[in-house]
Amino acid sequence: MDKVVVGAAIVDGGGRLLAAQRADPPELAGGWEFPGGKVDPGEDDRTALIRECQEELGVMVEAGEQVGGDWPLADGYVLRVWLAEIVEGEPEAKEHLDLRWLARHELYDVPWLPADLPIVRAVQGQLDGG
């Protein structure tokens, strides 16, 4: 059985990327990630992505291209990430400590979780048309 976590690389009209600061567990708290979470049994990945963005940020997103494939996480989980844009609402940190919109020159200004860091590079490449 796949143990899948989905994440949203949410980009705004100005090309800024939304980063979210984890509140828990203690060993990950303070680190920055793509918002998202675990896919429920029987749930479609993209449905989970939309649900998680509603729960965590209070926004409706539309998912675009996937960023890479299965990115490894701890405990046999994989992370799947999609480019996404907000179609309704303003993001709020409902479950995170903080949110930041990172301009292109600020992409590495936050301490990304180790699992998410290579994905930030991939997002950058994809936005640059690579």
Cα gap 19→99, rounded to integer Å? 6
Asked if 3 touches ligand DCM (CB under 6 A), the answer is no
Nearer to ligand DCM, 79 or 84 (CB): 79
Which of 82/116 has CB closer to ligand DCM? 116
CB of 29 to ligand DCM, least distance (A): 11
What minimum distance in Å lies between the beta carbon of 31 and ligand DCM?
8
Taken as a whole, the chain contains a residue count of: 130
User: Which one, 49 or 129, has the nearer CB to ligand DCM?
Assistant: 49
Query: What is the footprint of ligand DCM within residues 29-88 (CB under 6 A)?
Result: 33-34, 36-38, 73-74, 77, 79
Residue owning tokens 């609402």: 89
In degrees, to the nearest 5, what angle opens at C-alpha 97 toward C-alphas 78 and 79?
5
Tell me whether strands 60-72 and 17-21 are parallel, antiparallel or unpaired. unpaired
Contacts of 60 by beta carbon, 8 Å cutoff, 6+ apart? 50, 53, 54, 86, 87, 88, 89
Per CB under 6 A, residues contacting ligand DCM are 5, 7, 28, 33-34, 36-38, 73-74, 77, 79, 113, 115-116
